[in-house]
Amino acid sequence: MSITVDASKCNGCTICVKSCGTNAIEIKDKLATIVLESCNMCGACVSACRFKAISIDIEKQAVEDLSKFNGVWVYGEQRDGHVAPVVFELINIGRELADARSTELCVVILGHKITDAVEVLAGYPVDKVYVYEAPELETYDAERYCRVLTDVTRQLKPEIFLAGATTTGRSFMSGVAISLYTGLTADCTGLEIGEDELLHQTRPAYGGNIMATILCPYTRPQMSTVRHKVFPMSCKRIDGKAQIIDLTPKPTLFSSRSKVTDFVETVGEKVNLVDADIIISGGRGLGCPENFSILRELADEIDAAVGASRAAVDAGWISYAHQVGQTGKTVCPRIYIACGISGAVQHQVGMRSSDTIIAINKDPNAPIFQIAKFGFVGDVLEVLPQLTKKIKAKRGAPETCPV
Amino acid sequence: MKICCCIKQVPGTTEVKINPETNTLVREGVETQINPFDLYALEEAVRIKERMTAAGDPSTVTVISMGPPQAEDALREAISLGADDAVLLSDRAFAGSDTWCTSYALAMALKKIDPDLVFCGMQAIDGDTGQVGPGIAVHLDCAQAAYVAEIKEIDAKKMAVKRLIEEGYEFCEVRLPAVLTVVKEINEPRTPSLRGKMNAKKAEIPRWGAADVNAPADKIGLLGSPTQVIRIMTPPCREGGEKYEGETAELVEKLFDVLTCMEVV
């Protein structure tokens, strides 16, 4: 492998120097020169160069016969028999990819007492549902799930394997990819089959400041975890149902060095921000922890989840599970309502891909207004209670058409 | 107990600006920092060291980073924050490593140290993958727990942890050796002590290359990486929209209309 600059194409314009994250390019005599000591071969300069003067060569080829791999797989994540919403989004994009490759779409599900979940999945436009049902698989166990999924993937050889970029998907799919020695691209927001017949996986990096397109050319399956709420959910199939195939894992796959002892669901309010359709987030502008109740009251009215800025979490006003932003969660709901949040870049990276952003802030110069579709310069402590009252009044009033 | 903590040096801010003329990233003058999540991992490693030592099991924390030579700065900072010693994993041959190869190289280095417990942050703020920590566990063939929010109990053989997941918290027992990735909720990192700063200054940090950790060339770097980046681009800037100012009642009215249009109310 090597990185080279074509002297006949390079004119020393310095664009590559600016694109380099590790200061590994110098211009000497109007020619870009790579400082190999610092270069991490990220390819940013290759993309940045307008004259196609920089190239990275890898002498590499597939060791396996890739034509043996067929089909698009979706990991059917479930908890207590409830299929995770992202799975239906995966079925939608998975169907597109499978059609583009003229191959089948399969869902693989692991668990215990999951007959209902299997029936639900079979009602969607998938060709097969592979079912691993065993008491040992009742609760998620990274090691055990990883082993079972690695084993079945090795046997049945899918070409593409998608999972949700959930806490579960991200942690154990990494293990599956490592065991299979294949590539896994995290948190994809774009997936398509290129002219080269490969899966082109696009994902944000550097907090969404750049988008990188990634291939897995020489090994299979091509694996991706996929961000929530980027792809629409699949419709149910019109008729018939998918073929259900029961598989029996070898008991030797069940060994594990960890054990789930308990699960405590957060009750009382919605903290599952990633699946929420609407999120109302509060920041420093709320003034004190008690004022989160104003937010919660509105959230209850419009069935929203409550989020928070880092400032509010660090002040101890609300628990970390609610934090949106660089050191919290990345969310993309249909509507994001930022209340008393100035919108520092660290917050923005966690929410700027929301469909519609609404901001309420006292400071007309708050950065949040630069990305908000609807900005309201005002005091959240006045605006929100009145809004809630108005919504309640409408709900309470008899159904009459206003026009 | 021998404890290791993996850290990554990342850009000082992810606020990379875009040059509108060339549509390229401007990262000039951007300083570096220890990945924020790794600071929580390091703090927890140091706390466990203190806890085990106080319980009669003299323990140490070794911090390890894979990166260019300048990543040594991050390791010195980690020593000032309570780590005992550090190892820099740096070699031209590692350049271009994706998460498969990065977790492999780190695992090979960790095998040499042979720790009982390895801490990582839940993800890095530049790559945002969260795959390296769990990957290390698989390469090492040991137990793992991701997104750990609290270590409830620990002894030489096992630990009880609380994991933060979408729907709430999960409690697990994990046998050692194990790899943990931690979330921010787990602790509040300390600031460097004077003694830590002095230790950091005089620490000798060995630099290990691929050969030192027995990592063959075809399993590291661009050559060993199953994935390849083929294109990097800057997404279009998000534009602001309308901004309303005025009396609270007007604002409420307008906001109500917006929410009505969006079928929220």
> A93 is written with which tokens?
């994009």
Q: Give B37's contacts in chain A (Cβ within 8 Å).
A: 327
Q: What is the pLDDT of residues A50-73, one digit of tens each?
A: 899 998 887 777 778 899 999 999
Residue A371 pLDDT greater than 80, yes or no = yes
Instruction: Give the residue from B162, B173, B228, B242 with the most A CB atoms within 10 Å of its CB, the best one to mutate.
Output: B228
Average confidence score pLDDT of chain A: 91
- Beta strands in A87-228, from DSSP E residues, in sequence order: 105-111, 128-133, 160-164, 184-188, 190-193, 199-205, 210-215, 222-226
Q: What residues form DSSP beta bridges with A357?
A: A336
Domain ranges within chain B, ordered by starting residue? 2-230
Residue A271 pLDDT greater than 80, yes or no = no
**pLDDT class for A114, splitting at 50, 70, 90?**
very high
CB-neighbour burial class of residue B241 (10 A; exposed 0-12, middle 13-18, buried 19+):
middle
* Distance (Å) from the alpha carbon of A309 to chain B's nearest alpha carbon: 14
CB pairs under 8 A between A and B: 326
Q: What is the largest CA-CA distance in chain B?
A: 70
3-state secondary structure of B247: coil
> A312 is written with which tokens?
């509010």
Cβ proximity of A376 and A358 under 8 Å: yes
* Torsion angle of the four alpha carbons B203, B207, B208, B210, in this order, in degrees rounded to the nearest 10: 160
Q: Give A56's contacts in chain B (Cβ within 8 Å).
A: 96, 222
Q: What is the pLDDT of residues A141-181, one digit of tens each?
A: 999 999 999 999 999 999 999 999 999 999 899 999 999 99
What pLDDT shows up at residue A268? 56
Cβ proximity of A222 and A161 under 8 Å: yes
3-state helix, strand, coil in chain B (%, to 5): 35, 30, 35
- pTM for this entry: 0.89
Q: Please give the Cα distance from B99 to B103 (Å, whole number).
A: 6
Residue A307 pLDDT greater than 80, yes or no = yes
Q: What residues form DSSP beta bridges with B3?
A: B61, B117
Q: Residue B221: which residues within 8 A CB-CB, separation 6 or more?
A: A1, A41, B93, B94, B95, B96, B97, B101
* Distance (Å) from the alpha carbon of A157 to chain B's nearest alpha carbon: 17
Section A344-353 average pLDDT = 89
What pLDDT shows up at residue A394? 86
Residue A34 pLDDT greater than 80, yes or no = yes
Q: Give B135's contacts in chain A (Cβ within 8 Å).
A: 174-175, 177-178
What pLDDT shows up at residue A44? 81
Q: Please give the Cα distance from A71 to A50 (Å, whole number).
A: 38
DSSP conformational letter for B12: S
What pLDDT shows up at residue A365? 93
Q: What is the largest CA-CA distance in chain A?
A: 79
State how beta strands A222-226 and A210-215 pair.
Answer: unpaired
Residues within 8 A of B (CB atoms), A 86-125 only? none
Inter-chain residue contact A326 with B14, CB threshold 8 Å: yes
Q: Residue B27: which residues within 8 A CB-CB, separation 6 or more?
A: A18, A20, A21, B11, B16
The values of phi and psi at residue B70, to 5°, are -70, -10
> B68 is written with which tokens?
């260019």
- Measured over the CA atoms of residue B15, residue B20, residue B24 and residue B27, the dihedral's sign is negative
What pLDDT shows up at residue A270? 64
What pLDDT shows up at residue B25? 52
What pLDDT shows up at residue B241? 87
**pLDDT class for A398, splitting at 50, 70, 90?**
low
Residue A314 pLDDT greater than 70, yes or no = yes
Residue A358 pLDDT greater than 90, yes or no = yes
What pLDDT shows up at residue A403? 46
Terminal alpha carbon distance of chain B: 58
Inter-chain residue contact A326 with B98, CB threshold 8 Å: no
Residue A47 pLDDT greater than 70, yes or no = yes
From the list A22, A217, A377, which residue is nearest B228 (CB)?
Answer: A217
What pLDDT shows up at residue A326? 86
State how beta strands A160-164 and A72-75 pair.
Answer: parallel
Residues within 8 A of B (CB atoms), A 132-151 only? 140, 142-143, 146
What pLDDT shows up at residue B21? 53
Q: Please give the Cα distance from A381 to A282 (Å, whole number).
A: 11
Look at the block and give the residue holding tokens 């850009």: B11
Residue A342 pLDDT greater than 60, yes or no = yes
From the list A37, A183, A258, which residue is nearest B143 (CB)?
Answer: A258
Q: Residue A281: which residues within 8 A CB-CB, separation 6 or more?
A: A306, A307, A308, A309, A322, A324, A336, A337, A338, A339, A341, A351
Render each residue's pLDDT in chain B as its tens digit; 265 residues: 999 999 999 887 655 555 555 545 555 556 889 999 999 999 999 999 999 999 999 999 999 999 989 899 999 999 999 999 999 999 999 988 999 999 999 999 999 999 999 999 999 988 889 999 999 999 999 999 999 999 999 999 999 999 999 888 999 999 999 999 999 999 999 999 999 999 999 999 999 999 999 999 999 998 999 998 888 887 777 777 899 999 999 999 999 999 999 988 8
Q: What is the set of domains in chain A, with CATH numbers?
A: 2-57 (3.30.70.20), 66-254 (3.40.50.620), 273-396 (3.40.50.1220)
What pLDDT shows up at residue A375? 96
What pLDDT shows up at residue A123? 97
In chain A, what percentage of residues exceed pLDDT 70?
A: 97
More confident of the two residues A212 and A23: A212
Q: Does A364 touch chain B (CB under 8 A)?
A: yes
> B91 is written with which tokens?
């070699």
- Measured over the CA atoms of residue A47, residue A48, residue A51 and residue A53, the dihedral's sign is negative
**CATH number for domain B2-230, candidates 3.40.50.280, 3.40.50.620, 3.40.50.1370, 3.30.1330.60:** 3.40.50.620
Q: What is the pLDDT of residues A217-254, one digit of tens each?
A: 999 999 999 998 889 999 999 989 999 999 988 888 99
DSSP conformational letter for A169: H
Q: Give A208's contacts in chain B (Cβ within 8 Å).
A: 235
Q: What residues form DSSP beta bridges with A2?
A: A57
